[in-house]
Homo-oligomer: A and B are copies of this chain.
Amino acid sequence: MKKYSLKNDYSEGAHPKILDAMIRTNLEQQDGYGEDDYSKKASEIIKEKLNNKEAEIHFVSGGTQANLLVLSSLLESYQSIIAADSGHISVHETGAIENTGHKINTVKTKDGKLTVEMIASVLAEHTDEHMVDPKVVFISNSTEVGSIYMKKELQELSHYCKEKGLLLYLDGARLGSALTSKKNDLTLADISELVDAFYIGGTKNGALIGEAIVLNKKELQVKFRYRMKQKGALLAKGRLIGIQFLELFKDDLYFEISEHANKMAEKLSGAIKKGGFEFMVEPVSNQIFPILPNELIEKLHEKYDFYIWEKIDDKNSAIRIITSWATKNIVTEVFIEELEKYVK
């Protein structure tokens, strides 16, 4: 029997409404390279939600592509990026950023989140032309360990960056989960106001493929389509992503389904807490990192697929569980039963 996967939020295809829209529009002739009606409409709707008419939206096929494309466009050759050492670009993109020519200055964090102090410490170390010139601050929301930024925290980062002439970029691969977290107090419009560029992740929240890059300011938008084409990111059938983002945003399906993912995670973490277990990082989004006895982990691994994240001590490890728009209620219930059996 195949295990049920709680490894990630991209194990299934697309939300059914998205497939419906694709079928509905399939034989219409549309212009290529993102100049189709659907990409345009999706872009307009997203800009409304951002409350930022000046923004420019571009659709690309994946998160690493979005990151390397935007970050390299923000930097002169000698400039670097400040990121958490757990940041996706720091570890899990096979040196994609360095391959565009730029150093990443990493800082250690407890919960995957950057603070003004951390950024300041990097700036203090970089004083002259023998060192890189830190220019962009990279954050993720939710972060790679499931934590989220509060409005106050993002404001502090934003103000500091403006003061220091830095640019703030947000990797929103799991932005849906962050913005529908019970703890969250940020809106899409807040984000558009506080960061210079970011992307809204589709792949990990119900789309078949695709991320929506948001460039908030005119000066960052110059000839961005040239950059996309050059990096192999301009899709001939751009409609493929336009249709999906239109479907995700026209009636807020995006938030509805990420809220579902969060609820599934919450049910699991509630039961885990009740079982007396702790978490590596406080669970607030669709990624949770409970610390469980190895014995229990082994038991759960018989039926579920998930990553063992970190050895905690000889008897316990942290695991990573991810829920998604497609996670079924019944799955969480059965998982919880297993857990309760063990606890007794």
Chain A contact residues, CB within 8 Å of chain B: 2, 4-5, 8, 10-14, 16, 19, 22-23, 25-33, 60-69, 72-73, 76-78, 80, 91-96, 98-104, 129-133, 203-204, 208-209, 222-223, 225-237, 239-240, 326
Contacts and interface: CB of A to CB of B under 8 A. Distances in A.
B61 A93 contact: no
State the main secondary structure of chain A at its contact with B: loop
Contact of A233 (B11, B69, B232, B235): B232
Contacts of A77: 72-73, 99, 227, 230
Nearest to A20: B23
Contact of A32 (B10, B100, B226): B10
A29 B16 contact: no
Given A77-B230, A94-B132, A98-B101, 6 more contacts: A62-B234, A63-B236, A78-B230, A93-B229, A96-B231, A98-B102
Nearest to A14: B26
B237 A78 contact: no
Report the copy number of this chain in the oligomer: 4
A203 B237 contact: yes
Contact of A27 (B13, B23, B129): B13
Report the 6 A-B pairs with minimum CB-CB distance, sorted nearest first.
Answer: A65-B232, A13-B26, A78-B226, A95-B103, A129-B225, A11-B29
A223 B133 contact: yes
Contacts of A94: 78, 129-132, 226, 229-230
A166 B315 CA distance: 35
17 contacts: A13-B26, A13-B28, A14-B26, A27-B326, A61-B232, A64-B229, A72-B77, A78-B223, A95-B102, A96-B229, A96-B231, A101-B101, A129-B225, A130-B229, A133-B226, A204-B236, A209-B240
A73 B78 CA distance: 10
A316 B29 CA distance: 28
Nearest to A243: B13
B61 A61 contact: yes
Contacts of A14: 26
Nearest to A67: B232
A22 B13 contact: yes
A60 B72 CA distance: 21
Contacts of A22: 13, 19, 208
Contacts of A69: 232
Nearest to A207: B237
A319 to B, nearest CB: 17
A255 to B, nearest CB: 21
